Each structure stands twice: as structure tokens, then as C-alpha cells.
Amino acid sequence: MSSEQAGQEDILGTAARWRDEGREVALATVIATWGSSPRPVGSQLVADGEGRFEGSVSGGCIEGAVIEEARKVMGSGAPSVLEFGVSNEQAWEVGLACGGTVRVLVERIE
């Protein structure tokens, strides 16, 4: 898991820095995967209130939906858990091409 974080972007550092700049910030984390999925458990993405983001939770397939959810979570403050997979109609919409299932936690940085 994310001991592999050297060599990756420093998502948690970015989250703190953006928050210091006064931006609204939410963090998305892959918490479970089934079947083939491009990013392992622990992978993270940070998004701000204007839709800017760094990092990834898939190969680019579900980032759009996750960033939209991040914006809702920034507003409500309530964490949410999203699931994307072939059995889920939403997955077709967002296009999880790999055929796997991925569960993502989205939380606001207070």
C-alpha cells in the first residue's frame, strides 16, 4: 500500500497546503477494489472547490464523478463512500473500462 508513497505525488501535503491557502479541500481515497482496477487501495486524489485536482483513484475513468462528489462533500461536510463497477449502471456512465470495482471514500479537510 502506500508506503509506496515516495515516488508518488505528495497528495496529503498538497491537501494541507491548499487548505492553508484558504481553499475548500476534499480528499478521495481508494478503500477497496475487486477484480482488475488500475490504482491500488490507498491511492488518493485531492480536489479543491474550483475543480482543480491532483493524484488519481483510477486510470482516469471515474475522476470526473469523484470530483463532483468532492464538491458536494465540501458543502455538506459529511463524508461519503462511492462505489463504481461493471454491475453499477453509473460505472457505464463514467466509463470504468477496466471491468473492476472500486470503492472510494470522499471526505472534507476541515
Partner 1 sequence: MQRAVLDRLNGDRAAERAVALVTALGGGAQALVYPDGEGAGDALPEAVTAAAKDALRADRSGQVEAGDETWFVHVHNPPARMVIVGAVHITQALARMAEAAGYAVVVCDPRRAFADAARFPAIEVSTEWPDDALNRLTPDHRTAVVTLTHDPKIDDPALEVAVRAPVFYIGALGSRRTHGKRLERLREKGFTEDELGRIHAPIGLAIGARSPAEIAVSIMAEVTQVRRTPPAPAGEGSS
Contacting residues toward partner 1, per CB under 8 A: 1-8, 12-13, 15-16, 19, 27, 29, 31-32, 41-42, 78-79, 81, 105, 107-110
Q: 70 and 26 in contact (C-beta within 8 Å)?
A: yes
Q: Which is nearer to partner 1, 88 or 95 (CB)?
A: 88
CA atoms within 13 A on the CB side of 106: 27
Measured from the CB atom, is 95 or 109 closer to partner 1? Answer: 109
Q: What is the DSSP letter of 4?
A: G
Work out how close the CB of 91 gets to partner 1 at its nearest, in angstroms, rounded to a whole number: 20
Q: Which is nearer to partner 1, 32 or 97 (CB)?
A: 32
Cell of 73: 462533500
Phi/psi at 9 (5° precision): -65, 155
Q: Which is nearer to partner 1, 41 or 95 (CB)?
A: 41
Q: How far apart are CA 77 and CA 2, in angstroms?
A: 25
Minimum CB separation of residue 70 from partner 1 in Å reads: 13
